[in-house]
Amino acid sequence: MSESPPTTPVCYRHPSRETYVRCTRCERSICPDCMRDASVGHQCPECVAEGRRTSRPARTVFGGGTAGRQGYVTKALIAVNVLVMLLSIYSARGGDSLGGAGFGGLLGGSTPLTSWGAVLGFDPRFFPPEGVATGEYYRLFTAMFLHYGPLHLLMNMWALWVLGRSLETTLGPLRFLALYLVAGVGGNVAAYLFSNPFAETVGASTAIFGLFAALFVIMRRMGRDTSSVIPILVINLVFTFAVPGISIAGHLGGMTAGAAMALVLAYAPRSRRTLFQVGGGAVIGLVLTGLTLMQTAALLS
């Protein structure tokens, strides 16, 4: 009795294609179109998908996603600030929006867009009155994306590029974005509380000072040398107090809020890290909200 010739294996997804390659997980035959590179050999598409569902995504030491290594949030924040600067210049149709104001004429002046979005406590000279105290609370957010001219923008964006890439890599994109926004709003709330209510305040420096403080906190938490951070922080503080026209309250408030948020992110217990971080951020937000409402009541009394 004659034996039947051996059958050549075929791809389980493409029966018309012969192959001698098998999936290293399920051992089904797969053709070149179905091969997916694995640490050892190749896997079929179904096994790759199953592995992605069952494996835990990589996380940073503080629980964030590793996508932060690409710096997407840092780049997006810079892009938004640049776009808003262009819109600000357009709103003024040129004029002194590019230069002619502070720092010996190097900074730009106020534009219709900065007047709309700057931190302004309360100005009854307009009808109706304008300012945060009149219900324009959006100013506490929009002010961190506005600048007085390209030089003002350039200084802040350079600092954001240097600090942001490092912090976003360490924290992950979402936690870094939360840190940036909390610091920026915190600094603007401080400007609302302690600055002249008639003065307009804009700039990303509230958030930038928060990033400086956060970098110090996080480096200490990771056991790294902070000697390179302290001199830069001190120089910026001296600059804040020495140069006229800079919002001292905004810078110190941003630093305080950034440090508080960094402490929450860095020292959250590992077992309930995300819950602690979200809850801590919410508490900071409630404190800032309470301080804002108290100042509003004081200005309107």
Q: Which two tokens stand for residue 87?
A: 């819109």
* Amino acid, res. 57: P
How many CA atoms lie within 13 Å of 55's alpha carbon, on the beta-carbon side?
9
Q: Pick the catalytic residue: 42, 147, 152, 251?
A: 251
Rounded to 5 degrees, φ, ψ at 22 are -120, 150
Catalytic annotation present for 205: yes
Q: Pick the catalytic residue: 29, 195, 205, 247?
A: 205
What's 10's DSSP letter?
B
268 in Cβ contact with 171 (< 8 Å): no
- Integer Cα distance of 33 and 30 in angstroms: 8
Rounded to 5 degrees, φ, ψ at 42 are -130, 155
Burial 201-231 (b: 16+ CB within 10 A, else e): bbbbbbbbbbbbbbbbbbbebeeeeeeebee
How many CA atoms lie within 13 Å of 14's alpha carbon, on the beta-carbon side?
12
Cα dist. 226→153, 210, 221 in Å?
27, 16, 10
Active site residues: 205, 251
